[in-house]
Amino acid sequence: MSTLNLKANIDGADDFYAELLAIHEGRSKAESDAINARLILLLANHIGDRAVLSDAMQKAAVSA
């Protein structure tokens, strides 16, 4: 079982953030929400570890 990594871990984090914002440009709230949902599901599938995913969901809910 893996653990959730909460340390900075993305190469080119600023570029990633800019790319993430760019895919939402010119889209409606509903379209952006759908993109975010698909992205979450794609990344969750890539991670694959249910314990890590549950931990991430719990931490995200506390931050909301």
The answer on pLDDT for 62 being more than 70 is yes
The model's pTM: 0.87
Q: How many helices (H) and strands (E) does the chain have?
A: 3, 0
- Among the residues of 1-64, which ranges form H helices? 13-22, 29-47, 50-63
Cα torsion through 13, 16, 22, 27, rounded to 10: -110
Each residue's pLDDT tens digit, 10-41: 999 999 999 999 999 999 999 999 999 999 99
Q: End-to-end CA distance of the chain: give it in Å, rounded.
A: 26
Q: Report the distance separating Cα 4 and Cα 54, nearest Å.
A: 9
Q: Report the distance separating Cα 50 and Cα 57, nearest Å.
A: 10
